[in-house]
Amino acid sequence: NVCRYIKMELASHRGMGQRSQFLRRGTTTPTTRRSVGKKIVASAHINSGRNAVDQIAGTLTEKMFERMDAASSADRGTSGGAGGATTLQSFQRLDAAWSDLRNRTVYGLPPKTVKVTKDALPAVPGLDVIVGGGTLGVFLAMALQARGLRTAIIERGALRGRDQDWNISREELYALVDAGVVSKEQADDSITIEFNPIKAGFHGSEDIVTRDVLNLGVSPKTLIDHVRENYENAGGLVVESAALEKIWVHPNGVQARVRNQSQEKTLALASKLFIDCMGNQSPIVRQVRHGQKPDGV
């Protein structure tokens, strides 16, 4: 639909430019000025055509994102795909962040989020595992909690899934059921769309047809809501609006210090292990890979 829309817009503007040129060339002018006039009109037509295309290019992206947002809101079965941006503003922020990541020059010493000390914690940690980053970490935390471990999640924002779908196969989705993360009914409830078969084409080669490969659209919001409910019912602790400030590694465990952004309070949690699920924006990753560009995307 987007491709068809672009073609219609371009055809419309081309038609306007051609009619304008035809009318100008048809105007009666003295013979001595006609050839010069044609050249001027032709040049003006080319420039106006370029401007029209530039204007379309500037607005088509906006219109495409507007249509995707409208379709996503109106149709629960629309799959937005994985890893993309659902608004023009978020797309522009993503592009700017990627450009900065590729081109930045890092100066100074790496951050010291993680520090090691020889001093032992005064008591055995009450938690077995702290998971940093809740959007993906809640799946791991729930799996560990289901196996009898005492866990906690720290999340910088609110622990909830976005509206844009994730893509997954049914076999992969049901692996969460086998791990005790969600029930089969909860997994099925999170499915928004299913499509089979899928055809992939590459230039110079034959099309490849697959079945049951990334053929489900899953609502992260619905799925994570189910996982969080199960996690808290199983005794898991969720700490939201908590930005990680420091991790102290002791001989008998770790202590994570977080700042509650709404209450401006510092909270300390101790556990035997800290698992980082915060992604490429993790302060731990920044410390480990200080100044290094990504290995790949």
Q: Give the distance between the most distant pair of CA atoms in the chain.
A: 101
Residue 126 located in a structural domain: yes
Which of 126, 153, 121, 182 is closest to 275 using CA atoms?
153
pLDDT of residue 201: 85
**Tens-of-pLDDT digits for all 297 residues of the chain?**
444 444 444 444 444 444 333 333 333 434 444 444 444 444 444 455 555 545 545 577 777 777 777 766 555 444 444 445 567 787 888 888 888 878 878 888 888 999 999 999 999 999 999 999 999 999 999 999 999 999 999 999 999 998 888 999 999 999 999 999 999 999 999 999 998 998 888 888 899 999 999 999 999 999 999 999 999 999 999 999 999 999 999 999 999 999 987 777 899 999 999 999 998 789 999 899 888 877 776
- For position 37, what pLDDT does the model report? 46
Residue 139 lies in a domain: yes
Range of the domain at 266: 114-289
Q: Is residue 295 assigned to a domain?
A: no
Please report whether residue 199 resides in a domain: yes
Domain count, the chain: 1
CATH number at residue 251: 3.50.50.60
Is residue 120 in some structural domain? yes
Q: Decide the pairing of beta strands 208-210 and 127-132.
A: unpaired
**241 assigned to some structural domain:** yes
User: Do the domain assignments include residue 2?
Assistant: no
Does 28 map to a domain?
Answer: no
Amino acid 48: pLDDT: 54
Task: Find where tokens 């989705």 sit.
Answer: 173
CA atoms within 13 A on the CB side of 237: 17
pLDDT number for residue 150 = 98
User: Which pTM was predicted?
Assistant: 0.70
